[in-house]
Structure 1
Amino acid sequence: MLNIHTRDRGRTRPGSPSRRRRTALLGAPVAALLVLALQGCQDLATDAGDKASAPAKSAPAGGGGAPGSSKPDGQSSATPSASPTVAPDDACGLVTQLEADQLAGMSLGHGRAIGDTCTYTAPPDGPTGQVEVFAGESGKNYYDAEHTLHPDSLKPLADVGDEAYLAGGEVFLRVGEHWVSIRLVRLEDEAEHAKLLTDLALKVAGRL
């Protein structure tokens, strides 16, 4: 009888404190998972509610152009310049082949560039004609030489660059610190080409 009672006392009875503690410990991880799952559901519901209540973004005006722009796609708001800018020492760029032909009144050969100068010359089997363009330092040196040797021959031209002069078959112009000198060689009266030289000087000034 003693042994039977002893074994009974060593068993854990249902509802005893030890069994309740083990049940509580085993249930703790499950409860934590349930709390996390419920929290996640609440967060998802909150995010969905925020997105639903947020105002819809309106499309930019102008047919889908860049934000803040009223221009449709494919159109630029910049205004193109009337004359493209050319390097101040690019003599063949400042006076084109077509402009040299128009100035000389004949078809000249392709421009021959040497440093900051460019020469358009008529074919050897035709009439005499040549257009010489001096830009950069050469343009300034040509003007200085003409101003020193023949100062009275220089006639000021109004509204051409910052400074411009006409002298027979030559024209000199300055824009900022850049000088360009153009010389026409023709066996004709130089006065006939004065307007052509002035018009060409205006074009060149717009490219500097």
Structure 2
Amino acid sequence: MTVRRLIAPLWCSLLLLPLVACGPDDAGGADPAGPVAGAEPSIATTVDGDPPAATPDEESPAASTVDACALVSKKDAEELAGTPLDDPLEKPAPDRDTCTYTGPVSGPTAQVEVFVGPGAKKFLDIERELGHELTPVSGAGDEAYAEDGTVFFSKGGVWVSIRLVRTDDPAKYRTALAAVARTAAGRL
């Protein structure tokens, strides 16, 4: 037998070992040792294994029906970014709380992200906790704030954030960000 024939099965088993070791087990992914004493249930599941129900503070019914790509169209995103952008990936109805327009691989670097619902509010809360300077924006919903490259607004209890990623000075896009927030708030 050649050395190659002897090493091939060993090589294959070494390649498959990480897949077997990291894959789900036959018990449905449950930890055989059980939960750690005193540990809180995971945020992803409750004690009975079901995902937690959304509380009224987490998501309003209106937020779950808003299509983020309908709030900021491709044309709006391109005007904001100042460059052509690719179409966003098509998402199934329940996952339309985000929309991302990216620049083509040929450049320039550009991306417009739209978030609707509790994630947008959490994004704003984190910006506040970090001490980032937020400027009020008038005419965009019930309340609105801007930070370099991002605008946040709320209308009827639904929070939206629109973020622009470009490699040049964010101050160049402040007026355009406020304008797209006003347009999106009018569509909400």
TM-score (norm 2): 0.60
Q: Does residue 105 of structure 1 match 2:82?
A: yes
CA distance in 2, matches of 1:156, 1:202: 13
For structure 1, the 5+ residue unaligned runs are 1-85
Q: Does residue 128 of structure 1 match 2:109?
A: yes
Aligned pair in 2 of structure 1 residues 96, 127: CA closer, same or farther (>3 Å)? same
1:176 alignment counterpart: 156
Q: Which has the higher helix share?
A: 1
1:156 alignment counterpart: 136
Aligned pair in 2 of structure 1 residues 170, 113: CA closer, same or farther (>3 Å)? farther
SS class of match (1:92): helix
Higher RCO (CA 8 Å, separation ≥ 6 residues):
2
Count of residue pairs brought into register by the alignment: 122
Aligned-partner residue type, residue 127 of structure 2: E
CA distance in 1, matches of 2:120, 2:187: 15
CA distance in 2, matches of 1:119, 1:191: 21
> What do you get for the CA RMSD once the two structures are aligned?
1.8
SS class of match (2:104): coil
1:162-191 Cα shifts (integer Å, max 9, x gaps)? 100010110000112100001000111111
CA distance in 2, matches of 1:113, 1:181: 19
Q: Does the Cα contact within 8 Å between 2:64 and 2:117 map onto a contact in 1? A: no
Aligned pair in 2 of structure 1 residues 91, 147: CA closer, same or farther (>3 Å)? same
Aligned pair in 2 of structure 1 residues 179, 164: CA closer, same or farther (>3 Å)? same
Aligned-partner residue type, residue 120 of structure 1: Y
Tell me the percent identity.
47
1:145 alignment counterpart: 126
TM-score (norm 1): 0.55
SS class of match (1:118): strand
1:202 alignment counterpart: 182
CA distance in 1, matches of 2:135, 2:170: 14
